[in-house]
């Protein structure tokens, strides 16, 4: 088989998947190495461009933890975490907003525009897309922050109370790709740092997305032996939470996957953003990559 024939065969094999997702919304949480390494950044932008050109409506919610940490270090502002979430005082919140909205968001939009699609950068505060409320004080053993149980006030860390979809729908209908920084606003205009995974899950639920894809820096959810778990349902996830198998950033990731399923998302996938073209591999091949979360038993 010639090279051209092989390429044609691969395109035909993608047809059923393109048909499945045509006209559908796919929400992608973008972060980690996929956002930091030049080759992966370029591949990501081209993946998103391809989705748009075959009739899929991507919506991107991005993180920026390493960039925030770097800026805080330069400004000599200490960083503290609780179960994967950054404790955010007023000074930290100012840096979070500056980095996410002023720097990271612009870089992603620019990369997508250079890839040939029309992207628009948004904060969750724009049009009150992400309405937020303050996250309740955390409970736990208190080891990470050096405090006793029940005393951890995460400061300006919020959770999504609702997502306004009007602006996002208008942008998508006119061929634009929304790129959202996970900064929310409450009813009094207060600003909150929202976990990007949780924000992506809430956006996916509000838009009734076909898929929620969470790019991360591991292969997916791993078992006690370090092996990839290819598929999980809500009952299996609850068991993982109950037996303490989960820690750090995987806790909000799986939590938002469950919320997305409850909100009407068909499937959520935690996939390895370090794999080039991981988005295309997940959506347009039979095997996919990472750990899928579905409602199926």
What pLDDT sits at residue 147?
Answer: 45
Q: Whole-angstrom Cα distance, residue 111 to residue 144?
A: 36
pLDDT bin (cut points 50, 70, 90) of residue 240 is: confident
Contacts of residue 241, Cβ cutoff 8 Å, sequence gap at least 6: 251, 254
List, in sequence order, the alpha helices (H) in 115-246: 166-173, 196-207, 234-242
List, in sequence order, the alpha helices (H) in 143-195: 166-173
Length of the chain: 297
Nearest to 209 by CA among 249, 257, 175, 273: 257
**For residue 142, pLDDT beyond 80:** no
Computed over every residue of the chain, the mean pLDDT equals 90
pTM above 0.75, yes or no: yes
Q: Whole-angstrom Cα distance, residue 81 to residue 87?
A: 5
**For residue 184, pLDDT beyond 60:** yes
Separation of CA 126 from chain center = 18
**For residue 137, pLDDT beyond 80:** no
Nearest to 27 by CA among 199, 274, 161: 199
More confident residue, 85 or 87: 87
Nearest to 195 by CA among 206, 184, 187, 186: 184
* Topology of the domain comprising 24-293: Carbamate kinase (3.40.1160)
**For residue 149, pLDDT beyond 60:** no
What pLDDT sits at residue 1?
Answer: 64
**For residue 180, pLDDT beyond 80:** yes
Q: Whole-angstrom Cα distance, residue 270 to residue 161?
A: 23
The domain ranges of the chain are: 24-293
pLDDT bin (cut points 50, 70, 90) of residue 140 is: low
More confident residue, 21 or 252: 21
Q: What is the mean pLDDT of residues 243-253?
A: 77
**For residue 145, pLDDT beyond 80:** no
**For residue 38, pLDDT beyond 80:** yes
What pLDDT sits at residue 244?
Answer: 73
What pLDDT sits at residue 287?
Answer: 79
Q: What is the mean pLDDT of residues 222-232?
A: 86
- 185 and 164 in contact (C-beta within 8 Å)? no
């Amino acid at each position: 088989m010639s090279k051209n024939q092989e390429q044609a065969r691969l395109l035909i094999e993608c047809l059923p998947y393109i048909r499945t997702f045509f006209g559908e919304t796919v929400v992608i949480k973008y972060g980690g190495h996929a956002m930091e390494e030049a080759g992966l950044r370029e591949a990501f932008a081209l993946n998103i461009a391809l989705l748009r050109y075959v009739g899929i409506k991507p919506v991107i919610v991005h993180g920026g933890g390493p960039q925030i940490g770097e800026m805080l270090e330069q400004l000599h502002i200490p960083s503290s975490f609780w179960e994967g979430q950054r404790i955010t005082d007023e000074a930290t919140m100012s840096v979070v907003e500056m980095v996410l909205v002023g720097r990271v968001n612009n870089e992603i939009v620019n990369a997508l525009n250079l890839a040939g699609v029309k992207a628009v950068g948004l904060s969750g505060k724009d049009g009150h897309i992400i309405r937020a409320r303050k996250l309740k004080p955390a409970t736990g053993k208190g080891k990470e922050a050096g405090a006793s149980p029940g005393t951890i006030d995460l400061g300006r860390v919020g959770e999504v109370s609702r997502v306004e979809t009007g602006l996002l729908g208008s942008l998508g209908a006119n061929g634009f790709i929304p790129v959202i920084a996970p900064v929310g606003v409450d009813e009094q205009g207060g600003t909150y740092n929202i976990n990007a995974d949780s924000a992506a899950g809430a956006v996916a639920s509000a838009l009734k997305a076909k898929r929620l894809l969470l790019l991360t820096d591991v292969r997916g959810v791993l078992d006690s032996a370090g092996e990839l778990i290819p598929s999980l349902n809500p009952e299996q996830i609850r068991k993982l939470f109950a037996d303490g198998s989960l820690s750090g950033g995987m806790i909000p990731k799986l939590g938002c996957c469950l919320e997305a399923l409850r909100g009407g998302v068909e499937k959520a996938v935690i996939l390895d953003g370090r794999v080039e073209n991981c988005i295309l591999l997940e959506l347009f091949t039979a095997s996919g990559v990472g750990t899928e979360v579905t409602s199926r038993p």
